[in-house]
Chain A
Amino acid sequence: AQKVTQAQTEISVVEKEDVTLDCVYETRDTTYYLFWYKQPPSGELVFLIRRNSFDEQNEISGRYSWNFQKSTSSFNFTITASQVVDSAVYFCALSEGDMNTGFQKLVFGTGTRLLVSP
Protein backbone atom coordinates (compact mmCIF):
# COMPACT_ATOMS: atom_id res chain seq x y z
CA ALA A 1 0.00 0.00 0.00
CA GLN A 2 1.14 3.52 -0.66
CA LYS A 3 2.02 5.69 2.29
CA VAL A 4 3.35 9.17 2.91
CA THR A 5 5.02 10.11 6.18
CA GLN A 6 5.59 13.64 7.37
CA ALA A 7 7.26 13.12 10.71
CA GLN A 8 7.37 16.81 11.64
CA THR A 9 4.02 17.77 13.11
CA GLU A 10 4.86 21.41 13.68
CA ILE A 11 7.85 23.63 13.02
CA SER A 12 8.35 27.13 14.38
CA VAL A 13 10.89 29.49 12.88
CA VAL A 14 11.65 33.17 12.93
CA GLU A 15 11.28 35.17 9.77
CA LYS A 16 14.23 34.92 7.36
CA GLU A 17 15.29 31.52 8.64
CA ASP A 18 15.49 28.64 6.19
CA VAL A 19 13.29 25.65 6.94
CA THR A 20 13.06 22.15 5.48
CA LEU A 21 9.92 20.06 5.58
CA ASP A 22 10.52 16.33 5.34
CA CYS A 23 8.50 13.84 3.35
CA VAL A 24 9.13 10.10 3.09
CA TYR A 25 7.00 7.87 0.93
CA GLU A 26 6.39 4.18 0.28
CA THR A 27 5.19 2.70 -2.97
CA ARG A 28 5.66 -0.44 -4.99
CA ASP A 29 4.98 1.37 -8.26
CA THR A 30 7.91 2.16 -10.50
CA THR A 31 6.10 5.14 -11.94
CA TYR A 32 4.62 7.55 -9.48
CA TYR A 33 4.21 11.22 -8.82
CA LEU A 34 4.86 13.32 -5.77
CA PHE A 35 3.24 16.60 -4.85
CA TRP A 36 3.37 19.34 -2.30
CA TYR A 37 0.30 21.34 -1.38
CA LYS A 38 0.01 24.36 0.91
CA GLN A 39 -3.03 24.85 3.13
CA PRO A 40 -3.12 28.40 4.52
CA PRO A 41 -5.36 29.30 7.47
CA SER A 42 -8.20 30.05 5.04
CA GLY A 43 -8.38 26.31 4.35
CA GLU A 44 -7.93 25.87 0.64
CA LEU A 45 -5.35 23.53 -0.86
CA VAL A 46 -2.83 25.27 -3.06
CA PHE A 47 -0.77 23.21 -5.49
CA LEU A 48 2.97 23.88 -5.22
CA ILE A 49 4.79 21.25 -7.22
CA ARG A 50 4.52 17.91 -9.00
CA ARG A 51 7.47 15.63 -9.57
CA ASN A 52 7.51 12.33 -11.43
CA SER A 53 9.58 9.37 -10.35
CA PHE A 54 11.88 9.54 -13.35
CA ASP A 55 12.97 13.08 -12.74
CA GLU A 56 15.33 13.37 -9.81
CA GLN A 57 16.52 16.84 -10.63
CA ASN A 58 16.07 19.24 -7.81
CA GLU A 59 13.81 22.16 -8.53
CA ILE A 60 13.90 25.73 -7.39
CA SER A 61 11.09 28.22 -7.65
CA GLY A 62 11.88 31.51 -6.02
CA ARG A 63 12.33 30.87 -2.31
CA TYR A 64 11.06 27.30 -2.65
CA SER A 65 13.19 24.30 -3.52
CA TRP A 66 12.57 20.59 -3.57
CA ASN A 67 15.01 17.73 -3.11
CA PHE A 68 13.88 14.40 -4.54
CA GLN A 69 16.00 11.43 -3.46
CA LYS A 70 14.69 8.21 -4.89
CA SER A 71 17.31 6.16 -3.04
CA THR A 72 15.88 7.25 0.30
CA SER A 73 12.27 7.66 -0.89
CA SER A 74 12.24 11.25 0.20
CA PHE A 75 10.89 14.43 -1.32
CA ASN A 76 11.85 17.28 0.97
CA PHE A 77 10.76 20.88 0.65
CA THR A 78 12.89 23.85 1.67
CA ILE A 79 11.75 27.42 2.12
CA THR A 80 14.60 29.89 2.06
CA ALA A 81 14.32 33.16 3.98
CA SER A 82 10.92 32.29 5.38
CA GLN A 83 8.21 34.92 5.67
CA VAL A 84 5.19 35.24 7.90
CA VAL A 85 2.97 34.56 4.87
CA ASP A 86 4.55 31.11 4.61
CA SER A 87 2.72 30.10 7.78
CA ALA A 88 0.46 27.24 6.75
CA VAL A 89 0.09 23.50 6.83
CA TYR A 90 2.08 21.80 4.10
CA PHE A 91 1.04 18.44 2.74
CA CYS A 92 3.15 16.02 0.78
CA ALA A 93 1.18 13.62 -1.42
CA LEU A 94 1.77 10.61 -3.62
CA SER A 95 -0.36 9.81 -6.60
CA GLU A 96 -1.95 6.53 -7.42
CA GLY A 97 -2.99 6.53 -10.98
CA ASP A 98 -1.99 6.75 -14.55
CA MET A 99 -0.62 10.09 -15.59
CA ASN A 100 -1.15 9.15 -19.23
CA THR A 101 -4.89 9.01 -18.71
CA GLY A 102 -5.02 11.88 -16.30
CA PHE A 103 -6.44 9.84 -13.42
CA GLN A 104 -5.15 11.02 -10.10
CA LYS A 105 -5.81 9.64 -6.66
CA LEU A 106 -3.71 11.32 -4.04
CA VAL A 107 -2.49 9.77 -0.83
CA PHE A 108 -1.65 12.57 1.56
CA GLY A 109 0.71 12.76 4.48
CA THR A 110 -0.51 14.11 7.79
CA GLY A 111 0.92 17.53 7.09
CA THR A 112 3.46 19.78 8.77
CA ARG A 113 2.27 23.00 10.34
CA LEU A 114 4.80 25.77 9.76
CA LEU A 115 4.66 28.82 12.00
CA VAL A 116 6.80 31.75 10.94
CA SER A 117 6.99 34.51 13.49
CA PRO A 118 8.17 38.07 12.82
Chain B
Amino acid sequence: EPEVTQTPSHQVTQMGQEVILRCVPISNHLYFYWYRQILGQKVEFLVSFYNNEISEKSEIFDDQFSVERPDGSNFTLKIRSTKLEDSAMYFCASSARDRGEAFFGQGTRLTVV
Protein backbone atom coordinates (compact mmCIF):
# COMPACT_ATOMS: atom_id res chain seq x y z
CA GLU B 1 0.00 0.00 0.00
CA PRO B 2 1.35 3.46 -0.86
CA GLU B 3 2.61 5.47 2.07
CA VAL B 4 4.14 8.79 2.96
CA THR B 5 7.77 8.42 3.98
CA GLN B 6 9.81 10.86 6.03
CA THR B 7 13.52 11.12 6.65
CA PRO B 8 15.27 11.22 8.99
CA SER B 9 13.22 9.62 11.73
CA HIS B 10 15.14 11.55 14.37
CA GLN B 11 17.34 14.62 14.02
CA VAL B 12 19.33 16.36 16.71
CA THR B 13 20.62 19.82 15.94
CA GLN B 14 22.22 22.71 17.74
CA MET B 15 20.28 25.90 18.32
CA GLY B 16 20.78 28.31 15.44
CA GLN B 17 21.49 25.62 12.88
CA GLU B 18 19.43 25.04 9.78
CA VAL B 19 17.60 21.74 9.31
CA ILE B 20 15.81 20.23 6.37
CA LEU B 21 13.13 17.63 6.95
CA ARG B 22 12.30 15.48 3.98
CA CYS B 23 9.13 13.80 2.86
CA VAL B 24 8.07 11.69 -0.07
CA PRO B 25 4.28 12.00 -0.43
CA ILE B 26 2.10 9.40 -2.08
CA SER B 27 2.76 9.68 -5.78
CA ASN B 28 -0.64 10.66 -7.16
CA HIS B 29 -1.50 13.07 -4.35
CA LEU B 30 -1.85 16.75 -5.07
CA TYR B 31 -1.90 18.42 -1.65
CA PHE B 32 0.98 18.31 0.79
CA TYR B 33 1.08 19.39 4.40
CA TRP B 34 3.34 19.79 7.34
CA TYR B 35 2.07 19.45 10.88
CA ARG B 36 3.88 19.78 14.18
CA GLN B 37 3.36 18.04 17.51
CA ILE B 38 5.21 19.35 20.52
CA LEU B 39 5.77 16.49 22.96
CA GLY B 40 2.58 15.58 24.75
CA GLN B 41 0.50 18.14 22.94
CA LYS B 42 -1.89 18.15 20.04
CA VAL B 43 -1.01 18.04 16.38
CA GLU B 44 -0.96 21.51 14.81
CA PHE B 45 -1.19 22.54 11.19
CA LEU B 46 1.82 24.40 9.82
CA VAL B 47 1.40 24.74 6.07
CA SER B 48 -0.25 23.31 2.98
CA PHE B 49 1.22 23.23 -0.49
CA TYR B 50 -0.50 22.81 -3.82
CA ASN B 51 0.51 23.39 -7.40
CA ASN B 52 4.01 24.39 -6.35
CA GLU B 53 3.00 27.09 -3.95
CA ILE B 54 1.84 27.56 -0.40
CA SER B 55 -1.95 27.47 -0.27
CA GLU B 56 -2.32 28.18 3.43
CA LYS B 57 -0.07 28.62 6.44
CA SER B 58 -0.62 29.00 10.15
CA GLU B 59 0.76 31.72 12.38
CA ILE B 60 3.34 29.22 13.59
CA PHE B 61 4.81 29.15 10.09
CA ASP B 62 6.87 32.32 10.31
CA ASP B 63 9.84 33.51 8.28
CA GLN B 64 12.17 30.89 9.69
CA PHE B 65 10.19 28.18 7.95
CA SER B 66 10.03 27.40 4.26
CA VAL B 67 8.77 24.55 2.12
CA GLU B 68 9.82 23.32 -1.25
CA ARG B 69 9.06 20.62 -3.74
CA PRO B 70 12.45 20.45 -5.43
CA ASP B 71 11.53 17.63 -7.78
CA GLY B 72 8.54 15.48 -8.62
CA SER B 73 8.70 13.35 -5.53
CA ASN B 74 10.19 15.16 -2.53
CA PHE B 75 8.60 17.75 -0.27
CA THR B 76 10.83 19.49 2.25
CA LEU B 77 10.45 21.66 5.30
CA LYS B 78 13.39 23.92 6.10
CA ILE B 79 13.86 25.59 9.44
CA ARG B 80 16.47 28.30 9.00
CA SER B 81 17.71 29.04 12.47
CA THR B 82 16.39 26.51 14.93
CA LYS B 83 15.24 27.45 18.40
CA LEU B 84 14.78 25.25 21.43
CA GLU B 85 11.02 25.56 21.07
CA ASP B 86 11.18 24.05 17.59
CA SER B 87 11.78 20.67 19.23
CA ALA B 88 8.80 18.59 18.20
CA MET B 89 7.61 15.77 16.01
CA TYR B 90 7.05 16.99 12.48
CA PHE B 91 4.57 15.13 10.33
CA CYS B 92 4.25 15.32 6.59
CA ALA B 93 0.91 14.42 5.02
CA SER B 94 -0.61 14.27 1.59
CA SER B 95 -4.10 14.00 0.17
CA ALA B 96 -5.58 13.16 -3.19
CA ARG B 97 -8.19 15.00 -5.16
CA ASP B 98 -10.83 12.34 -4.84
CA ARG B 99 -10.08 10.84 -1.45
CA GLY B 100 -11.09 12.24 1.87
CA GLU B 101 -8.33 11.48 4.30
CA ALA B 102 -4.86 12.88 4.62
CA PHE B 103 -2.22 10.20 4.93
CA PHE B 104 0.53 10.92 7.39
CA GLY B 105 4.15 9.90 7.39
CA GLN B 106 5.72 8.34 10.45
CA GLY B 107 7.13 11.68 11.57
CA THR B 108 10.55 13.20 12.16
CA ARG B 109 11.43 13.89 15.76
CA LEU B 110 13.47 17.08 15.87
CA THR B 111 15.48 17.80 18.99
CA VAL B 112 17.14 21.20 19.28
CA VAL B 113 19.86 21.39 21.91
In angstroms, Cα B102 to Cα A105, docked, is 9
* A83 close to B (CB within 8 Å): no
**Chain A residues near B107 (CB, 8 Å)?**
43-45
**Chain A residues near B106 (CB, 8 Å)?**
42-44
Kindly state the interface size class of chain A when it binds its partner: 20 to 34
Would you give the shortest CB distance from B29 to chain A, in whole angstroms? 8
B42 near A106 (CB under 8 angstroms)?
no
* B101 close to A (CB within 8 Å): yes
Majority secondary structure, B binding face: strand
Which residue of A37, A52, A106, A109 is within 8 Å of B45 (Cβ)? A106
B100 near A33 (CB under 8 angstroms)?
yes
Q: Which residue of B is nearest A46, CB measured?
A: B104
Would you give the shortest CB distance from B41 to chain A, in whole angstroms? 7
Would you give the shortest CB distance from B3 to chain A, in whole angstroms? 10
B42 near A104 (CB under 8 angstroms)?
no
A38-68 interface (Cβ within 8 A of B): 42-45, 47, 50, 52
In angstroms, Cα B35 to Cα A37, docked, is 14
* A91 close to B (CB within 8 Å): yes
B43 near A91 (CB under 8 angstroms)?
yes
* B31 close to A (CB within 8 Å): yes
B92-113 interface (Cβ within 8 A of A): 93, 95-107, 109
Would you give the shortest CB distance from B107 to chain A, in whole angstroms? 5
21 A-B contacts (beta carbon < 8 Å): A35-B101, A42-B106, A43-B107, A43-B109, A44-B104, A45-B43, A45-B91, A45-B107, A47-B104, A95-B100, A102-B31, A103-B31, A103-B50, A103-B55, A104-B100, A105-B33, A105-B45, A105-B48, A106-B35, A106-B102, A108-B44
